């Protein structure tokens, strides 16, 4: 079964609002990564958080990781219409195994 | 033609003399990385970059620096080369796409290699 599961599956917000997406996983990980994918395009890496980190920031992005709950959240602040995309979390399980992606959250930011 | 280019292809230098190996790709890939290949050790990742201004250490980052100011270029910098950095260096870029089963399909493109000798 898939390692990462995003929640919600779809999210629609107004421009300027914050968007929060959650990800849960099942096994031990080396790190967790968030990606964005615009329709018809490849994956774009957003941020990586290691298993020994609890919070990380990158511009308008804030990621948290709770390894005790095996969950992560991605917060996009002051959203823009250009943030409209699908967002995926991906885990790198321990043991140098390949990344495993969740099904994604489809975010729509309405101007 | 899709390609990854590296320069120089061959370099002989002396200990302590700073050098830069350039890497450029024309495929608009977000992900780029540097490897070194040594006899009996295979390819070992030095640094990688998931996107512009995003870089991270690989397995053997000591003695190396990288920068990613623009998507197409990913130079490898040796501030003070030492003889143990004599090696064959490869730059690579790859495209990630999500497969239908949730896994990631990767297509990685390697440059032609740079053979470095540090005296």
Give the tens place of pLDDT for each residue, B7-46: 999 999 999 999 999 999 999 888 899 988 888 777 788 9
Residue A38: which residues within 8 A CB-CB, separation 6 or more? A44, A84, A85, A86
Q: Which two tokens stand for residue B51?
A: 């996107």
Instruction: Please compute the mean of the pLDDT values over residues A87-105 and round it to a whole number.
Output: 76
Q: Return d(Cα B81, Cα B68) in angstroms, integer.
A: 21
> Of the given ranges (A30-44, A53-67, A70-84), which has the lowest mean pLDDT?
A30-44
**B 41-70 near A (Cβ less than 8 A):** 50-51, 54, 56
| Confidence (pLDDT) at A65 | 97
Q: What count of other Cβ atoms lies within 10 Å of the Cβ of residue B112?
A: 12
Instruction: Please compute the mean of the pLDDT values over residues B106-117 and round it to a whole number.
Output: 85
Cβ atoms of A62 and A9 closer than 8 Å: no
- From the list A7, A4, A14, A5, the residue with the least C-alpha distance to A84 is A14
Q: Most B CBs within 10 Å: which of A2, A9, A26, A35, as the mutation test of the B interface?
A: A35
**How much of chain A exceeds pLDDT 90, in percent?**
48
Instruction: Please compute the mean of the pLDDT values over residues B44-59 and round it to a whole number.
Output: 87
The answer to whether residue A61 neighbours chain B at the CB level (below 8 Å) is no
Residue of higher predicted confidence among B102 and A35? A35
| Alpha carbon distances (Å) from B78 to A7, A27, B75, B98 | 44, 38, 10, 35
Cβ atoms of A101 and A93 closer than 8 Å: no
Point out the residue among A48, A99, A103 whose CB comes nearest to the CB of B104. A99
Residues of B in contact with A101 (CB under 8 A): 98, 102-104
B116's enclosing H/E stretch is strand B114-118
Q: Return d(Cα B21, Cα B76) in angstroms, integer.
A: 5
Q: What count of other Cβ atoms lies within 10 Å of the Cβ of residue B80?
A: 12
Is B84 a residue whose pLDDT tops 80?
A: yes
Cis peptide before B77 (omega within 30 of 0): no
| Alpha carbon distances (Å) from A27 to A51, A70, A73, A84, A85 | 12, 8, 17, 30, 27
| Confidence (pLDDT) at B59 | 83
Is A79 a residue whose pLDDT tops 90?
A: yes
Q: Return d(Cα A52, Cα B4) in angstroms, integer.
A: 34
């Amino acid at each position: 079964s898939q390692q990462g599961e995003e929640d919600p599956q779809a999210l629609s917000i107004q421009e300027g609002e914050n968007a929060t997406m959650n990800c849960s996983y099942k096994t031990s990980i080396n790190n967790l990564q968030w990606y964005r994918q615009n329709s018809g395009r490849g994956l774009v890496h957003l941020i990586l958080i290691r298993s020994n980190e609890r919070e990380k920031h990158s511009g308008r992005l804030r990621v948290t990781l709770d390894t005790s709950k095996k969950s992560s959240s991605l917060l996009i602040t002051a959203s823009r219409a250009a943030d409209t995309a699908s967002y995926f979390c991906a885990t790198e399980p321990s043991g140098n195994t390949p990344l495993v992606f969740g099904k994604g959250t489809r975010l729509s930011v309405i101007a | 033609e899709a390609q990854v280019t590296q320069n120089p292809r061959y370099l002989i230098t002396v200990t302590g003399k700073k050098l830069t190996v350039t890497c450029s790709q024309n495929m608009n890939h977000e992900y780029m990385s540097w490897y070194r290949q040594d006899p009996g050790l295979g390819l070992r990742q030095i640094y990688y970059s998931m996107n512009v201004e995003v870089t991270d250490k690989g397995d053997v980052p000591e003695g190396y620096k990288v920068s990613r100011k623009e998507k197409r270029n990913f130079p490898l910098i040796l501030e003070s080369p030492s003889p143990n950095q004599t090696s064959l260096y490869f730059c690579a870029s790859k495209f990630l796409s999500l497969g239908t089963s949730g896994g990631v399909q990767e297509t990685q493109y390697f440059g032609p290699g740079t053979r470095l000798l540090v005296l």
